[in-house]
Amino acid sequence: MEFTAQQVAQLINGEVVGDAQQKINSVCKIDEGQLGGLAFLSNPKYTDFLYSTKASVVIVNDDFQATASHTCTLIRVADAYQAFTKLLAFYQAHKPQKTGREEPCFVHETAKLGKDVYVGAFAYIGAHVVLQDGVKIYPHVYIDENSHIGENTVVFSGAKIYHDTQIGKNCVIHSGAVIGADGFGFAPDEKGVFQKIPQIGKAILEDFVEIGANSTIDRATMGETRIMQGTKIDNLVQIAHNVVIGKHTVIAAQSGVAGSTKIGDHCMFGGQVGVAGHLQIADGTKIAAQSGISKSIKQKNSILQGSPALPHLVYNKAYAYFKQLPEIDARLHHIEQSTKKNGETKDIKE
């Protein structure tokens, strides 16, 4: 597909500065620009690349002021990052869409497939599965019996959907993800041998949920594990049984949430965050990477860091002292030695 700078500007409500008829046939990063490429600039750290990029057109914020000459055409918008995201979505929507069945694949006779469904080679669609209109099932996907997948959801190669799982509309399940596996439930008997607790609940993903590659969403022991509308989960994330995650929450890679924890709406977890079980996390909570949450967070819009986690500002103050501990220890040792030389033999630490 090929567009002019003016056509792109019309799509994103932008103003062209330069050649409005400049041709665009690809998208690129500003630091890896190429002729015919469309890039964007929103992070000030990348400003210098604007003056050397080979990209033909660059989307910038309204308040951007060039301080040197450049060869690219600019498109000014209110928010360059959001505008570029909108363009990528437009590009994705206009790519040719797969439909039909590739052979060999297995589709059980009781399964129900809507219009324009795609089933890739070697996929398995079990008994009483429902795939609504526009669902895309890529090769080597496994979908077990009684599962339901909503309109326009995409399940990429190698994902596994266990029985009785419900997935809403416009979701994306990336390769290697496992939805609906048994929760980690075991109880010791009188001999101390761990016996499995049957996991008879469900895993439910609401509309516009995205699950990253090799992430796992466990089914509930009883009841449901639920990921609410618009939530995005990164790669290599573990969500345990009976967890509930609210709307429009984002969780970055290598994080883990233990069983029965309830997470609110619009929360943000950095990478490698660990959350203990049976906790309540309030709406709007932000947790920095590698933090550990061992207690419920009841205050909305809290910002936490550390393990165990502290309020962000408290953590920064404490860490400032922590970094000085070797120096403080040396000063105390010097004071102690000076005191002893002056005839005071009593240890000042007593």
User: Cβ atoms within 10 A of the Cβ of 271, count?
Assistant: 16
Give 32-83 as a DSSP string. Answer: G--TTEEEEE-SGGGGGGGGT---SEEEEETT----S---SEEEEES-HHHH
Helix axes 325-341, 312-323, angle to 10 degrees: 40
By the 8 A CB rule, do 45 and 39 touch?
no
Angle subtended at Cα 307 by Cα 306 and Cα 308, rounded to the nearest 5 degrees = 110
The conformation of residue 297, written as its DSSP 8-state character, comes to B
Determine which one of 108, 140, 163, 241 is catalytic: 241
| Residue 344: Cβ within 10 Å count | 11
Bridge partners of 131, per DSSP, are: 113, 149
Q: Is 241 a catalytic residue?
A: yes
Catalytic residues: 241
